Amino acid sequence: MSIIPVPVQVRPSVGHFTLTSTTAIVAASTAKRKAEQLAAWLRPATGFALPIVANAPAGTSTIELRIENVDGIDGIDGIDGISAEGYALDVNDSTVVLRASAEAGLMYAAQSLRQLLPAQIFSTTTVAGVDWSAPCQSILDQPRFGWRGMHLDVGRYFMPLATIRKYIDLLALHKMNVLHWHLTEDQGWRIEIRKYPRLTEVGAFRPGTIVGHQFEYKEKEVVLNGVPHGGFYTQDEAREIIAYAAQHHIAVLPEIEMPGHAGAAIAAYPELGNLDHPIPVSCQWGIHKHVINVEESTVNFYKDVLSEVLEVFPNHYIHIGGDECPKDEWKSSERVQARMRELGLHDEHDLQSWFIRQMDVFLNERGRVLIGWDEILEGGLAPNAVVMSWRGEDGGIAAAQNGHDVVMAPYHWTYFDYYQSEDREKEPLAIGGFLPLEKVYAYEPIPAALTVEQAKHVLGAQCQLWTEYIPTPEHLDYMAFPRLCALAEVVWSPTSTRDYARFTERMATHLQRLSVLGVNYRKS
């Protein structure tokens, strides 16, 4: 058994189910969509017809999908009953039965079934001469956390739609359910906003990119590669991605960065900034001191942007960034200082909180929930905000202790832009740090400081793929895999199943699957 992430309960039995050219997929109307998804996954490699039927004569080889209540997994890690994402998968000699109370669970059962078959099942072209057998067993499974995410920065480097779709496939394969789409940065604005076309006309393009690592340039003049870079997603393209993600039970969380990391927006609309001259879309990395101002018109600009984002993205949570907003410009701007007094605010941290609160109210009035990086705690948290804890666990702990929901994203364990080896010379250039597979696997999303009650505020965790040093989809694969497999197990599987030696054994098979899928994972 080499399913990743490891299921809650696996009961092996004797014998094999063999998928053949006469196998039929049985599904009532409630399970038909997921039956079609499973068939579409199994047909290319096998070349079998795999018709979807309402009933099959006794004795036929069948894979049956059923939406029904599934009895619980009592006694395992205190789990009673099975959640909407949980499933039962029974493999017998002549039948496979997938059961779940909802479509998400059925899809996860189907993902487990794919992983019980030979790795070639992931081929997009027919593979002859394979014995398409799966060992008989009964699996009961459900996730530990409801938020199992991957963050993807497309601001630093634009990633094509095909790559976004590939990652949706890969997330679903690993039973992950949130794609955090980091859409705006100092170096690029990547989502069409119809009211403000310059955001993409100007903000989505830069004339070049810094050569080498930002750290090399402390004293020296920056060298650019002279290769223009850019791109953005139209609203229609974003809608296509959201629909594709929904078919895979993945929520797409859009992030619009404010008030820092907003350089591309300021380049497009200089009146958003604090200077009396325009700035270019940035061609280098690091924390930029140019941030937006706090004029009423700027607040309204961002509300307009969010209005369009809400039209496109149905997601309950909307990410407004909030990280790394240097206060230099606010401190030196007479206009900002006057505004601070006008608003009765004490310092720049209060001002940042005031700004975020405008967005919190705006989103709440529209039935959405604001989420931001843990800096949104500084100067007081907006009443309904969710905190994404990246600078460690402290932000998450503080927020949970104050009754706020939290998503854990601490850089020590979840920043996949970090090196995968201590021997940096042997690795492609990365941002820094050292995050080996084993350390990701050892991550525990519930901070020890939280009580059982407070821990309920931890929605889950996610990995971060910041792309300053990840210019291509191939390199994205290299940084994401195999670490994403470890993170998937951290957020899905019960702590009682956590065993790194066994994980690496299962990974030996899983890597074959990734190879067939064309994932350029790092080979250790």
Q: How many residues bind ligand ACM (CB under 6 A)?
A: 4
Q: Which of residues 284-323 bind ligand ACM (CB under 6 A)?
A: 323
Instruction: Output 143 or 260, the one with its CB closest to ligand ACM.
Output: 260
Residue 317 in tokens: 């949570």
Q: Residue length, the chain? A: 524
Which x/- pattern over 179-218 shows residues binding ligand ACM (rule: CB under 6 A)? ----------------------------------------
Q: Which is nearer to ligand ACM, 302 or 411 (CB)?
A: 411
- How many angstroms separate the CA atoms of 70 and 304, rounded? 45
Beta bridge partners of 317: 369
Which position's Cβ is nearest ligand ACM?
A: 323
Q: Tell which positions 477-506 bind ligand ACM, by CB under 6 A.
A: none
Q: Within a 10 A sphere around the Cβ of 229, how many other Cβ atoms?
A: 19
For ligand ACM, the binding residue among 237, 295, 308, 324 (CB under 6 A) is 324
Please report how the helices 483-492 and 473-480 are oriented relative to each other, as an axis angle in degrees rounded to 10.
50
Residue 494, preceding peptide bond in cis (omega within 30° of 0): no
Site for ligand ACM in 386-405 (CB under 6 A): 390
Query: Least CB distance from residue 506 to ligand ACM, whole Å?
Result: 31
87 belongs to the binding site for ligand ACM (CB under 6 A): no
Comparing CB distances to ligand ACM, the nearer of 301 and 415 is 415
Closer of 325 and 517 to ligand ACM (Cβ):
325
141 CB contacts (<8 Å, ≥6 apart)? 7, 8, 9, 86, 87, 88, 89, 108, 109, 112
CB of 34 to ligand ACM, least distance (A): 35
Phi, psi dihedrals of residue 387, rounded to the nearest 5°: -105, 135
Half-sphere exposure of 441 (CA within 13 A, CB side): 20
Question: Of residues 132, 373, 416, 503, which one binds ligand ACM by CB under 6 A?
Answer: 373
Contacts of 242 (CB under 8 A, 6+ apart): 252, 312, 313, 314
Q: How far is the CB of 468 from ligand ACM (least distance, A)?
A: 11
Return the ∠ at Cα 429 (arms to 424 and 434), rounded to 5°: 50
Q: Of 354 and 466, which CB lies nearer to ligand ACM in the complex structure?
A: 466
Radius of gyration of the chain (CA): 24
- Helix (H/G/I), strand (E/B), else coil: 193: coil
Name the residue nearer to ligand ACM (CB basis): 39 or 381.
381
| Bond from prior residue into 160 cis (ω within 30 degrees of 0) | no
Of residues 324 and 394, the one with the C-beta less far from ligand ACM: 324
Residue 88 Cβ vs ligand ACM, minimum distance, rounded to whole Å: 39
Residues at the site binding ligand ACM, with contacts judged by CB under 6 A: 323-324, 373, 390
